Amino acid sequence: MIKIQNLNKYYGNTQILKNVDMEISKGEIFGIIGHSGAGKSTLLRCINGLEDYRDGSLTVEGQEVKDLNEKQIRELRKNLGMIFQHFSLLERKTVFENVALPLECFKYSKAEIEKRVMNLLELVGLADKRDAKPRNLSGGQKQRVAIARALALEPKVLLCDEATSALDPNTTKSILALLQDINEKMNITIIVVTHQMEVVKQICTKVAVMEGGRVLEIEDTEDLFLNNTEGLKALMGDEQIVLPEGTNIKIIFPKEIANENIITNMARTLDFDFNISYGKLEKFREDVLGSLIITVKDHYANAVKRYLDERNIKWEEIKNDK
């Protein structure tokens, strides 16, 4: 649906996006995560034609964005709804009028506007606030209005630029649940730009990690957490510490067995002592994912590796800290 190949973008002489490659399929909730300044918002603005790019290719449904004329850009933006961190609502207009705005721009009839806006307000749970002004709404409610407005023209893609960054954790959860609901019910592709790991964890099917204008990696979200990839380390820091002596074995828990007592069972079966050097368990949706580094005396190492291999449990050996 959206295909980006070798995209380069400059502001003056400064290169902001560097050889970006990315493919976003229809129906996906695709996360783009990275620290501030990584180039995430710039990439979103290239996708909706607000920024041009020097070289490389960026197609939306097969159309090269930089080659579109004004009319085609208008059509493109109709297909790409967008929401922002600070909601961008018009303060003097009511909730109803804010959502109606894009429909008025595209000259929909009054009856059609009434019907669509009310359906959208039902969808986001704000039908009873139709006559309220934004200043009388909470942050979460404002973002719901912005979502309704972004969906007014029935876009195929919803672009979310730090849409939950100004919200508290519970409100964030409810907005993300709403986005997931919209993705499922309306089969809208959603691109979520964020610096918050929790956002990716809660709703993204796939995620691109960006740093310094580059894509470090693109992974299924579960794999990102499970494998403690280079991208995840770049985002979270790699704080794992291991002992200076013995063999350190990092055991990676897939979700099917994360709740089982692998370590205790192994220690009982093999009858050996071990130290836990480092552990990290993450709640991932309904499951627990994570890894644990145990340190065993060198002569036990092979038995441990065999035990894990026989049970198809992933492991890797970690060098000692000197």
Ligand X SMILES: Nc1ncnc2c1ncn2[C@@H]1O[C@H](COP(=O)(O)OP(=O)(O)OP(=O)(O)O)[C@@H](O)[C@H]1O
Binding-site ranges for ligand X (CB under 6 A): 11, 16, 34, 36-42, 195
Please provide residue 220's backbone torsions phi and psi, each rounded to the nearest 5 degrees. Answer: -65, 140
Alpha-carbon gap, residue 322 to 316, rounded angstroms = 19
Alpha-carbon gap, residue 243 to 276, rounded angstroms = 9
Residue 6 · residue 21 · CB < 8 Å: yes
Alpha-carbon gap, residue 85 to 116, rounded angstroms = 24
Q: Which is nearer to ligand X, 148 or 204 (CB)?
A: 204
Shortest approach of ligand X to residue 85 CB, angstroms? 9
Q: Which is nearer to ligand X, 42 or 183 (CB)?
A: 42
Shortest approach of ligand X to residue 237 CB, angstroms? 18
Q: Which is nearer to ligand X, 36 or 109 (CB)?
A: 36
Alpha-carbon gap, residue 29 to 31, rounded angstroms = 7
The two tokens of residue 259 are 């709740």
Q: Which is nearer to ligand X, 41 or 248 (CB)?
A: 41
Shortest approach of ligand X to residue 1 CB, angstroms? 22
CA-based torsion, 243, 248, 249, 250: positive or negative: positive
Shortest approach of ligand X to residue 287 CB, angstroms? 29
Give the chain's radius of gyration (CA, Å): 24
CA atoms lying within 13 Å on the CB side of residue 276: 9
Q: Which is nearer to ligand X, 13 or 312 (CB)?
A: 13
CA atoms lying within 13 Å on the CB side of residue 108: 18
Shortest approach of ligand X to residue 15 CB, angstroms? 9
Strand partners, 29: 190
Shortest approach of ligand X to residue 267 CB, angstroms? 45
- DSSP string covering 107-132: T--HHHHHHHHHHHHHHTT-GGGTT-
Q: Which is nearer to ligand X, 165 or 240 (CB)?
A: 165
Shortest approach of ligand X to residue 16 CB, angstroms? 4
Number of C-beta neighbours around residue 194 at 10 A: 22
Q: Which is nearer to ligand X, 29 or 210 (CB)?
A: 210
Please provide residue 137's backbone torsions phi and psi, each rounded to the nearest 5 degrees. Answer: -110, 155
Q: Which is nearer to ligand X, 86 or 314 (CB)?
A: 86
Shortest approach of ligand X to residue 88 CB, angstroms? 15
